[in-house]
Amino acid sequence: MFGEQRDIAAYEYSLRKLEKMSDRFKWIYPCHASECVRTSIIPKLIDGVVKMRRGLVEGKEAVYLDTNVKEYHIGPAVILYDKDVAFPE
């Protein structure tokens, strides 16, 4: 989630929307993964994103596709975000 038009708040909103609908499906097909995951991952992702936005998860500098980013390990996933964005928001 780095580059123009990326928004961690919008990602959290989408996760919360998915969580409200999660009784309708059992699997999620992430766009950056080769395997589908169970809907039980949604609350864990929400928790990780909230902690990230509050500054409770430290970002570590990294390079991804020749771009300087920060990696945020939020439990079941790693979020790559703009290196110049500071949390808490």
The per-residue pLDDT for range 31-83, each reduced to its tens digit, is 776 789 999 999 999 999 999 999 999 999 999 989 899 999 999 999 999 88
pLDDT tops 90 at residue 29: no
Given CA atoms 29, 31, 35, 39 in this order, what sign does their dihedral have?
A: negative
Q: What is the CA radius of gyration of the chain?
A: 13
Query: What is the pTM assigned to this prediction?
Result: 0.87
What kind and span of H or E run contains 44?
helix 41-53
Residue entry with tokens 């390990």 = 73
pLDDT tops 70 at residue 1: no
Residue 4's pLDDT band (cuts 50, 70, 90): low
Q: How far apart are CA 22 and CA 16, in angstroms?
A: 10
Q: How far apart are CA 30 and CA 25, in angstroms?
A: 14
What count of other Cβ atoms lies within 10 Å of the Cβ of residue 5? 6
